[in-house]
Amino acid sequence: MCIRKQTSALLVAGSLMALVGCSADSSAGDSKEPSSSTSAASPSPSRTTASPTADPGAAIEAAYRSYWDEKVKAYANGSVQGTQLKKFAVAEAYAEAEAEVKALKTKGLVATGQPTLAPQVTSVDTDQRVPRGALTDCADVSDWKLVQQSDGKEVELPEERLTKYVVKAAAEKWYGRWVIVKVTPQDKAC
């Protein structure tokens, strides 16, 4: 039994990492995640001034939803190639999504369906050199299923996993657009 059962269930959209997290430990250290994270975080964000009437909260939510849309595509294809994930996720958010997809691919799994999101922007600070924002989401992954890529057979997951849980996300404005820099699933149902 995996020691990180509960944590793994939250790390990748609840039920998806419940299966992958227990055996992904050995491959985590030898993947290219550090270079992805480092290279994604290394560009220096520039500050841009939005018009006073523009709602930065709406732009943050749009970036978060686009991040999830591209992540769902990557999970369905078993690769981040062919997605625009890098356009909406940088630093830790991108590196983690890429690692999750690689872990699923190693096990011969993909995901079908998609999660239901309910994000709410909780803070926006545009007075910093790098504007920042945060949001909280209630992610429902009950309709996002893991299947065997070879035959499409659904993978049975533990019944006690959280399928509807709180997610915290951090965003920053880089080169005139909002991007997601960190996504943190919480061990808390919503």
How many other C-beta atoms can be found within 10 angstroms of the C-beta atom of residue 49?
Answer: 9
Does residue 138 sit in helix, strand or coil?
Answer: strand
The residue segments making up the domain with residue 39 are: 5-189
- Longest Cα–Cα distance in the chain: 54
Number of compact structural domains in the chain: 1
Which residue type does 77 have?
Answer: N
Query: Which CATH number is 150's domain given?
Result: 3.10.450
pLDDT by residue for the chain (190 residues), tens only, comes to: 333 333 333 334 444 444 444 333 333 333 333 333 333 333 333 333 444 447 889 999 999 999 999 999 999 999 999 999 999 999 999 999 999 999 999 999 999 999 999 999 999 999 999 999 999 999 999 999 999 999 999 999 898 999 999 999 999 999 999 999 999 999 999 9
pTM of the model: 0.75
Residue 183, beta-bridge partner list: 169
